[in-house]
Amino acid sequence: MSLNPFDLYDVASLLTEEERAVQESVARFTNERVLPIIGDCFDQGQFPKELISEVAEMGLLGATLPEQYGGSNLGYVSYGLICQELERGDSGLRSFVSVQSSLCMYPIYAYGSEEQRMRWLPDMAAGKVIGCFGLTESHGGSDPASMKTRATKDGDAWVINGSKMWITNAPMADIAIVWAHTEDGIQGFVIEKGTPGFTVQEIKKKMSLRASATGALFFDNVRVPDANRLPNVKGLKGPLGCLTQARYGITWGPIGAAQACLEEVLAYTKERILFGRPVAATQSAQIKMADMARRITASQLLSLQLGRLKEAGKMEPTQVSLAKWNNCRMAIDIARECRDLLGGAGITTEHAAIRHALNLESVITYEGTETVHQLVVGRELTGINAF
């Protein structure tokens, strides 16, 4: 076999030398440091905190930001490849990097003052300050404009009341980027751990993203200085702009999860002898695996072109919605089909398929559900807002 089964169209040949080097180094990290431990982390419901310093040393936190803020000044295709290779390990680790980079460092960089950038970004890039992003509230995450969290000006400070739900990294975060209604529209605030009235509760009993820490945030008359308000954006476009960054990376991540599942099932079906021949020698198994490769290949090309558009400053949110929808759907279907091809062996975390399938239930839900992204594309096509 001369083609790479996980890159049938030789997408690697479309990458620059730097992009290939980034992909190779993150792939090595995933193989050597993530895969040996991640099944146990998932079983135990633990995020592998011990990997944070290594991820930071590799320059994966705020990777696209300029070096003066601790970033690695990488292009967006490199960032996508980082997400892909991390999610080949586990969606939880990719989530950690997405939230830290796209949802926390990005708004400080894009909407913060120079003082705020210097105050937080270098320590965040070094993994010394961990962030979380509070937009969703319990009464309806798809409709963030309906948020009830409110910030009221009081002298040179703000008083924040409300709550946020389903917040990645919350239980271990040093700062929370919190979006709240104000007299002047929705604004973003950096709330530091330990601020009186600010509490965090871990969400337990998750069957998905078990190797990621998720929590709820509560604000009871939390007093925040005006110096912690992000001054350069007002309105829903602030948080939605962050989501566009994160969703872009998330289009790449599920490609890695799907590749991991296909790799596992290719090996398994060659070894598994049923009715006197390997399962891989049956027509139905080959058709299923060929179809997985077809969908993975299409998703790789979609994300690569999206990345090139982003690098050229031409990427539109609707294009991100199409790829987030397509690639999450592709990966969750493949993970479920791989679980099936593994038979009973597929129901334990000794194999990766069920872990990826369960994780992808979150990935297809967060950062805009599949329905939300379908309606964004439908609105673009028809010009009619169906929300």
Q: How far is the CB of 137 from ligand FAD (least distance, A)?
A: 8
Q: Enter the tokens of residue 361.
A: 């239930």
Q: What is the rounded distance in angstroms from the CA atom of residue 170 to the CA atom of residue 199?
A: 10
d(C-alpha 131, C-alpha 217), whole Å = 13
Interface region with ligand TGC, contact rule CB under 6 A, candidates 16-24, 81-89, 134-142, 284-292: 134-142
Tell me the helices (H) and strands (E) count for the chain, helix number first: 12, 9
Quote the CA–CA distance of 182 and 195 in Å, as a whole number. Answer: 20
- Using CB atoms within 10 A of its CB, is residue 106 exposed (0-12), middle (13-18) or buried (19+)? buried
* Helix spans in the chain (H): 17-29, 35-44, 52-57, 76-89, 91-98, 106-111, 114-125, 237-271, 283-311, 317-341, 353-363, 370-382
Q: Which residues between 42 and 101 bind ligand TGC (CB under 6 A)?
A: 95, 98-99
259 binds ligand FAD (CB under 6 A): no
Q: How many CB atoms lie within 10 A of CB 17?
A: 7
Per-residue binding string, ligand TGC, 191-230, x by CB under 6 A, is ----------------------------------------
Rounded-to-integer distance, Cα 108 and Cα 143, Å: 23
Cα–Cα distance for residue pair 39/201, rounded to 1 Å = 25
**Nearest approach, Cβ of residue 212 and ligand FAD (Å):** 6
CB of 328 to ligand FAD, least distance (A): 12
Q: According to the binding rule CB under 6 A, does residue 371 interact with ligand FAD?
A: yes
Smallest CA-to-CA distance from 265 within 5, 41, 32, 39 is with 5
CA–CA separation, 199 and 209 (whole Å): 22
Quick one: what does residue 201 bind among ligand TGC, ligand FAD, none, with the CB cut-off 5 to 8 Å set by partner type?
none
Annotated catalytic residue, options 87, 183, 367, 370: 367
Minimum separation from the CB atom of position 256 to ligand FAD (A): 18
Does the annotation mark 202 as catalytic? no
Q: Give 193 or 272: the residue with its C-beta nearer to ligand FAD.
A: 193
Rounded to the nearest whole angstrom, what is the least distance from the CB of residue 103 to ligand FAD in the complex?
Answer: 7
Residue 166 makes contact with ligand FAD by CB under 6 A: yes
Which of 116, 136, 187, 251 is the binder for ligand FAD (CB under 6 A)?
A: 136
**Of 5, 39, 144, 171, the one binding ligand TGC by CB under 6 A:** 144
Look at residue 163 and give the partner it binds from ligand TGC, ligand FAD, none, a contact being a CB closer than 5 to 8 Å depending on partner kind: none
**How far does Cα 56 stand from its chain's mean position?**
16
Question: Using CB under 6 A as the criterion, which residues of the chain lie in contact with ligand TGC when the complex forms?
Answer: 95, 98-99, 133, 135-136, 141-142, 144, 168, 235-237, 240-241, 243-244, 246, 317, 366-368, 372, 376, 387
Question: Using CB under 6 A as the criterion, which residues of the chain lie in contact with ligand FAD when the complex forms?
Answer: 99, 133-136, 140-142, 166-168, 209, 214, 362, 365-367, 369, 371-372, 387
Catalytic annotation, residues: 367
